[in-house]
Structure 1
Amino acid sequence: MAETTLQIAGRHYTVRCRDGEEAHLAHLAGLIERKARLAQQNTPGLTEVRTLLFAALFLADELNDLKREAIGRQQSLALGDDDELAVQAMEALAARIEKLRERLVDPEPGA
């Protein structure tokens, strides 16, 4: 098990992680650090806890927006399934029309 030190909102935190995950944790800590700095810039004098609270809220808001966007994309893709069904229905109708046209142009003998 590896151990790494992360700096967030001016404090150092030592955490354990699986071997090889140190860089990923440092990246995540960097995301939190940027949000913490943003919170401190927008509201000077925040306590450490409130700084981290606002950083978490900023990140949760971004995550929520991304989830809503993903749901919207999934719904638009689902509409694409309806489009595929419509295309299949039109192709079936076109085939029926073609058969009717052939009967009108070349009526069957004895008809």
Structure 2
Amino acid sequence: MSTVTLTIGPKSYPVACADGEEAHIEALGAMIAEKYALLGSARAPTEAQNLLFAALFLADELAETRKGGTAPSAMPGAAGDEETAALRTELARLEAELAKARAAPAAPAPSPAPAPQGDLFGGPEAAEKIAERLEALAERAEASAAALEAFGANA
């Protein structure tokens, strides 16, 4: 069992989950926090009521999705189209991944004896595969950043 801490509004809540499910739970918590933020200055006197309203926002979106419709866009900041909803989901996933990476233990110290360059990467073929993966990761990061910038410009 693992525990993640979700921050929704002004409070943090520890939540137990199965090992390996931390990022998923954090992404779900980010969705709840997003709906909580929609309350703005219209917050209720108790946190339980505010969390209930956030849950109602999510339930309304789920009901619309199950009916085959789209999520309501009458709320300020609510997802009005599929692209915005997809960007918000991707943003929540990236935030959860970042939180998971920050919580991961530091990598062990390198061995004191330096290895030859070929041995370090497992030879030229392995080094080329690593370079290809790094390039793909960089392209993905750039695409995500561009999408987030576009989302920010449209928000």
Relative to the length of structure 2, the TM-score reads 0.42
Q: Where do 4+ consecutive residues of structure 1 move more than 3 Å?
A: none
Give the distance between the partners of 2:17 and 2:57, measured in 1 at CA: 25
Instruction: Give the SS at the match of 2:38.
Output: helix
Relative to the length of structure 1, the TM-score reads 0.57
Partner deviation per Cα, 1:4-63 (whole Å, 9 max, x = no partner)? 111112211111111111110000000000101112x15145421111011011000000
Q: Which residue of 2 is the match for residue 65 of structure 1? A: 64
Instruction: Give the SS at the match of 1:7.
Output: strand
Q: Which residue of 1 is the match for residue 54 of structure 2? A: 55
Contact 2:43 2:50 in 1 (8 A): no
Q: Which residue of 1 is the match for residue 22 of structure 2? A: 22
Distance of aligned partners of 1:69 and 1:42 in 2 relative to their CA distance in 1, 3 Å threshold: farther
Distance of aligned partners of 1:3 and 1:43 in 2 relative to their CA distance in 1, 3 Å threshold: same
Q: Which runs of 5+ in 2 are unaligned?
A: 70-155
Instruction: Give the SS at the match of 1:43.
Output: coil
Q: Which runs of 5+ in 1 are unaligned?
A: 71-111
Across the aligned residues of Structure 1 and Structure 2, the Cα RMSD in angstroms comes to: 1.6
Give the distance between the partners of 1:30 and 1:55, measured in 2 at CA: 11
Count matched residues. 69
- Structure with the larger helix share: 1
Identity of aligned residues (%): 45
Larger radius of gyration: 1
Instruction: Give the SS at the match of 1:69.
Output: coil
Instruction: Give the SS at the match of 2:62.
Output: helix
Distance of aligned partners of 1:3 and 1:25 in 2 relative to their CA distance in 1, 3 Å threshold: same
Aligned 1:1-111 pairs, distance under 5 A: 1-39=1-39, 41=40, 43-69=42-68
